[in-house]
Chains A and B, each alone.
Chain A
Amino acid sequence: MNRIQNKLSENKKILSIYFSAGFPNLNDTKSLIENLAKNNVDMIEIGLPFSDPLADGPTIQASSTQALKNGMTTEILFEQIKDIRETVEIPLIIMGYFNPILQFGIENFLKKCREIGIDGLIIPDLPLEIYLSEHKQLFEDYGIAMIFLITPQTSEERIRLIDENSNAFIYMVSSSSVTGSRDSFDDNQLAYFERIASMNLKNPQIVGFGISNKTTFQQAVKHQKGAIIGSSFIQFIANNPIVNISVFIQNLL
C-alpha cells in the first residue's frame, strides 16, 4: 500500500489542505507543508501555479498569479521540496494544469515526483480518455496515483469508469462551480453527497470546492471520507503568519 491508501484506510475523516506553491512568498512552500503536517492535517495538495487556471475561482487565481510573480517555476518547486520526506510523512499530492507538466516532460515530471516522494497528481485539464490511452502506463510505472474529478453532472456510467481506473481516491467537486469558498451546502449538494455514497464505489471520495469552515467540512464528511480546503486556507495565510496555521485548523475541527 502507498501513503495515500494507508492514510485512507485509517478509521477517521480526512482533512486535506490545498495551497498555491510560491504564495504568499516564494520560499514558503516547505515551511507550509511542515506546519500543516505538524497540525494534524492528513494530506496536502501542492498547487503548481499556472498563468491560466480555468477551473479556479478568484482566490486561487490571485494566489497563482502572485506565485508566478514571485518567480515560482516547476524546477524551483521540486528543488524546494526535494528533502521533504526527511520531515513529513503524510501523503503529498501535486495539483497542476497540464501545460506546465507537458513542458517539463511528463515522464521527467513523474520521475521527479517519485524521487521526492510525491504520491499522486491531480491534473484537472487532462481528461480521462487521454490519460487512459496515452499516459496510464507511465503513471503506473512510476507508482504515481492519478486522481480524477467528478461533479454533480457526471453520469453514473462515467463515475463507474473513473472508479475503475482510480487507485487512490475520487475527487468529488461539491457543486457545479469553479473553486471558491461558501458558507454552507444546499439540499441539492447534500443529496448529491448521499447519492455518490450509495453507489458503493471501490475508491473513497474526498470532497473539494466550496469547503471553508466547520459547517461545510462536517457536511462534506458526513457521507464521504474527507474534504479538501483551498481558497479559505489561502485567504488565511495571505493575512496570517505560518505559525498561526494551528488556529485555522482548530477552527475547522
Chain B
Amino acid sequence: MKTSYNVNEKGFYGEFGGAFIPEMLYPNVEELRQQYLSATAEPSFQEEFHSLLKEYVGRPTPLYFAKRLSEQFNTKIYLKREDLCHTGAHKINNTIGQILLAKKLGKTRIIAETGAGQHGVATATVCALMGLQCIVYMGEIDIERQAPNVARMKMLGAEVRPATSGSKTLKDATNEAIRDWINNPVDTFYIIGSVVGPHPYPDMVARFQSVISEEIQKQLLEHENRENPDYVIACVGGGSNAAGAFYHFLDNENVKLIAVEAAGKGVDSGESAATSILGKIGVIHGSKTLLMQTKDGQITEPYSISAGLDYPGVGPMHSHLFETKRAEFIAITDDDAMKAGIALAKTEGIIPAIESSHALAVLHQKKFKPEDVVVINLSGRGDKDLNTYINYFNL
C-alpha cells in the first residue's frame, strides 16, 4: 500500500526517519534495506509467516464488540484483542516476521533490546521456536523492576545482558544492542521491537504489525458491513501497535486516528513520556524523529507508570502523523490510565496491560457520537502489570 503518510523510497516520513547510523552499521542496515521488501514478498515467506501467525500466535485475534462499555459511553466500541496473542501482546507479530527474515539472510545469532520485557520475551520465544541463539539487552534498573519477564526469557533459553550505561533503562539497552551489532557485523541479526531505529526498521516493523489493521477491516465488514471505522485509538511508546492498527487506514482520512501517549504524572510535571508535546526534532537510535532532550541535545529520561511507554523518542511515522495533524495526539496521566484499566476489568472482564489502559482512558476524555464505530487496539494483557495494579489500588 502506497500512501502519502507511508514511508518514501529514501526511508523518510516527511522530514522524519532515515538511517543516521555510524559507518560500522552501514553494511548490515544496507543489506536489510535491499532485501526486506523482496524477501518478505516471496510466497514462501508469506506462507510461513501467516501460517505461524495462525497456528502459533493464535491469529486472527477477535475484534470484540464491547457491549457494556459501548452502553456506558453511548457509542459503538470494538476492542482489537491483541492481548490474546501468544506471549500476551502484539509484539510477537513483529518478532515472527523478523526471525523468518533473519533465517533467510543466514544469520545465526539474534540480539534484541527490551524495556518492560515484552519484546524480549517475544524475541526469546521465536528464537526458541527456531533454535537460534538469543541475547536480550535490558537496562539494569528494568531487570530489577521486571523480574518475571527476566525469568521468562531465561526459561526460553535467552541470555539477558544488563545495560549498565547511562540511565540503565530502555534507551541504554538499545544502545547496547546497537554496540553488540557493531561488534558482531556478520552473523548477527538485530530484532528491533518497535517502529524505531534506522530505515528500514520502522517500515519493516509497521508492515509486520499491519496484520492488525488488515484483520480489523475484514472483521468490521462482518460486524458492521463496513471496512472502515470512524476512529482507531492506540497507545504510543515507540509506536508499533499503533502503526499496526493505523496501517491500512493511513491514507483514508475518513478514519480518524488517535495516538495516545503517556503523560506520566502530568505533561508539565517533569515526569512524563509525552514525546509529541515535549519533544523536539532530533536523532535517536539512527532515526530523525521527535525526541525528549535538553536544549543542548542530550537525550533525557522519560517517565510513565507503564514501562512499555517510557521511550524518549517516537517512531518517525508517528512524528509525521503528529506534524501533519493526520492523527490526534492525546496524553493520558498514570492516574487516568490506571482507572481506565480497572474499569475495563469490571465492565468487560478483561484486564488490560497498562499501556493499553492509556488508549482506553480516551473514552473518559473524548465524546463520541452514538453511531460512531470506535476501534481501540488492546495491545496487551495485564498479567505482567499485576504488581503495579496491586500496589496502586492496594488490592
A-to-B contact residues, CB < 8 Å = 50-55, 57-58, 61-62, 65, 68, 73-75, 97-104, 124-128, 130, 148-151, 153-155, 158, 173, 176-178
Expressed in whole angstroms, the Cα–Cα distance for A154 and B25 within the complex equals 10
Of chain A, the residue at the smallest CB distance from B165 is: A61
B299 at interface (Cβ–Cβ under 8 A)? yes
- A143: shortest Cβ distance to chain B, in Å? 24
Within 8 Å CB of B295, what residues of A?
Answer: 103
Of B172, B185, B293, which is within 8 A of A176 by CB?
Answer: B185
- A169: shortest Cβ distance to chain B, in Å? 14
Within 8 Å CB of A104, what residues of B?
Answer: 296-297
Q: Give me 6 other A-B pairs in contact (C-beta within 8 A), A50-B298, A52-B171, A103-B297 excluded.
A: A99-B299, A100-B296, A127-B21, A151-B185, A155-B27, A173-B23
Given A98-B283, A101-B297, A104-B297: A150 in contact with B183 (beta carbons within 8 A):
no
Expressed in whole angstroms, the Cα–Cα distance for A103 and B290 within the complex equals 12
Please count the residue pairs between chain A and chain B whose beta carbons lie under 8 angstroms apart in the complex.
110
A54, A100, A102, A173 — most chain B CB neighbours (10 Å): A54
Expressed in whole angstroms, the Cα–Cα distance for A249 and B185 within the complex equals 33
The reply to whether B283 and A178 form a contact with Cβ atoms under 8 Å apart is no
The reply to whether B297 and A54 form a contact with Cβ atoms under 8 Å apart is no
Q: Give 28 A-B contacts (CB < 8 Å), ordered by A residue.
A: A50-B297, A54-B22, A54-B175, A54-B182, A55-B179, A55-B182, A57-B179, A61-B165, A74-B297, A75-B296, A99-B297, A100-B297, A101-B297, A102-B297, A104-B296, A124-B22, A124-B23, A125-B286, A127-B21, A127-B26, A130-B20, A150-B23, A151-B23, A151-B24, A153-B24, A154-B27, A176-B186, A178-B182
The reply to whether A68 and B23 form a contact with Cβ atoms under 8 Å apart is no
Within 8 Å CB of B172, what residues of A?
Answer: 52
Expressed in whole angstroms, the Cα–Cα distance for A3 and B298 within the complex equals 31
B178 at interface (Cβ–Cβ under 8 A)? yes
Of chain B, the residue at the smallest CB distance from A152 is: B185
The reply to whether B282 and A54 form a contact with Cβ atoms under 8 Å apart is no
Expressed in whole angstroms, the Cα–Cα distance for A55 and B299 within the complex equals 16
Expressed in whole angstroms, the Cα–Cα distance for A125 and B25 within the complex equals 10
Of A68, A125, A130, which is within 8 A of B22 by CB?
Answer: A125
Given A54-B22, A126-B20, A151-B23: A103 in contact with B183 (beta carbons within 8 A):
no
Expressed in whole angstroms, the Cα–Cα distance for A127 and B198 within the complex equals 11
Expressed in whole angstroms, the Cα–Cα distance for A58 and B172 within the complex equals 12
B284 at interface (Cβ–Cβ under 8 A)? yes
B285 at interface (Cβ–Cβ under 8 A)? yes
Of chain B, the residue at the smallest CB distance from A50 is: B298
Of chain B, the residue at the smallest CB distance from A154 is: B23
- A1: shortest Cβ distance to chain B, in Å? 26
Of chain A, the residue at the smallest CB distance from B182 is: A178
The reply to whether B185 and A54 form a contact with Cβ atoms under 8 Å apart is no
The reply to whether B24 and A173 form a contact with Cβ atoms under 8 Å apart is yes
Interface string of B144-168 (1 = CB under 8 A from A): 0000000000000000000001100
Expressed in whole angstroms, the Cα–Cα distance for A61 and B165 within the complex equals 7
The reply to whether B284 and A52 form a contact with Cβ atoms under 8 Å apart is yes
Within 8 Å CB of B165, what residues of A?
Answer: 58, 61-62, 65
- B15: shortest Cβ distance to chain A, in Å? 11
Q: Pick the 3 closest A-B CB pairs, nearest first.
A: A103-B297, A100-B297, A149-B23
Expressed in whole angstroms, the Cα–Cα distance for A126 and B20 within the complex equals 6
B18 at interface (Cβ–Cβ under 8 A)? yes
Q: Which of B10-40 contact A (CB under 8 A)?
A: 18-24, 26-27
Expressed in whole angstroms, the Cα–Cα distance for A177 and B19 within the complex equals 19
Of chain B, the residue at the smallest CB distance from A133 is: B10
Of chain A, the residue at the smallest CB distance from B281 is: A102
The reply to whether A154 and B283 form a contact with Cβ atoms under 8 Å apart is no
Expressed in whole angstroms, the Cα–Cα distance for A153 and B25 within the complex equals 9
Expressed in whole angstroms, the Cα–Cα distance for A55 and B24 within the complex equals 8
Of chain B, the residue at the smallest CB distance from A153 is: B27
The reply to whether A103 and B296 form a contact with Cβ atoms under 8 Å apart is yes
B23, B171, B178, B284 — most chain A CB neighbours (10 Å): B23
Within 8 Å CB of A155, what residues of B?
Answer: 27
Expressed in whole angstroms, the Cα–Cα distance for A142 and B248 within the complex equals 46
Given A125-B20, A127-B26, A173-B24: A100 in contact with B298 (beta carbons within 8 A):
yes
The reply to whether B298 and A125 form a contact with Cβ atoms under 8 Å apart is no
A62, A99, A151, A177 — most chain B CB neighbours (10 Å): A99
B175, B185, B296, B298 — most chain A CB neighbours (10 Å): B296
Within 8 Å CB of B179, what residues of A?
Answer: 54-55, 57, 178
Within 8 Å CB of B185, what residues of A?
Answer: 151, 153, 176
Within 8 Å CB of B184, what residues of A?
Answer: 176
The reply to whether B23 and A99 form a contact with Cβ atoms under 8 Å apart is no
Expressed in whole angstroms, the Cα–Cα distance for A100 and B293 within the complex equals 10
Given A52-B171, A102-B283: A149 in contact with B296 (beta carbons within 8 A):
no
The reply to whether A73 and B296 form a contact with Cβ atoms under 8 Å apart is yes
Expressed in whole angstroms, the Cα–Cα distance for A178 and B185 within the complex equals 11
Within 8 Å CB of B186, what residues of A?
Answer: 153, 176
Of chain B, the residue at the smallest CB distance from A96 is: B297
Of chain B, the residue at the smallest CB distance from A49 is: B298
Within 8 Å CB of A102, what residues of B?
Answer: 281-283, 297
Within 8 Å CB of B183, what residues of A?
Answer: 176-178
Q: Which of B263-293 contact A (CB under 8 A)?
A: 280-286, 293
Within 8 Å CB of B175, what residues of A?
Answer: 52-54
- A57: shortest Cβ distance to chain B, in Å? 7
